[in-house]
Homo-oligomer: A and B are copies of this chain.
C-alpha cells in the first residue's frame, strides 16, 4: 500500500453504472520524508476519509476486495485505512492527533 493525503474529490454523472453512489477521492501520494509528491490516485473510499487526512491506498485487484467495492466494479484504487501514525525508525513521520 502507499501513503497518501486526501486533497480533493472527483465528481462524475456519466459513469459505468456499477459505480453509481461511489465517492471518488483525489489522493496525493506522500514520500518517506512526509512530502507530497506529484503522483496522485483517484480512489474509492471504503473508510469515510476526510479532507487532509493521511490514508493507505490499495491498488490493482486489491482495490476490489472489500465488501464496499464489489468484485464486478471497474475500480483499481481504494482507500482502505485512515492512518493514525507513521513511525520511521524511532520518530513519528505523521500523527493524526498532532496534525489536527
Contact = CB atoms under 8 A, between A and B. Distances in A.
Task: Give the residue among A19, A26, A81, A82 with the most B Cβ atoms within 10 A.
Answer: A81
B11 A88 contact: no
Interface residues of A, number: 61
The complex is assembled from copies of this chain, and their number is 5
A50 to B, nearest CB: 10
Contacts of A58: 74-76
Contact of A74 (B14, B63, B86, B87): B63
Given A24-B56, A28-B32, A63-B62, A86 B10 contact: yes
A74 B84 contact: no
Nearest to A92: B8
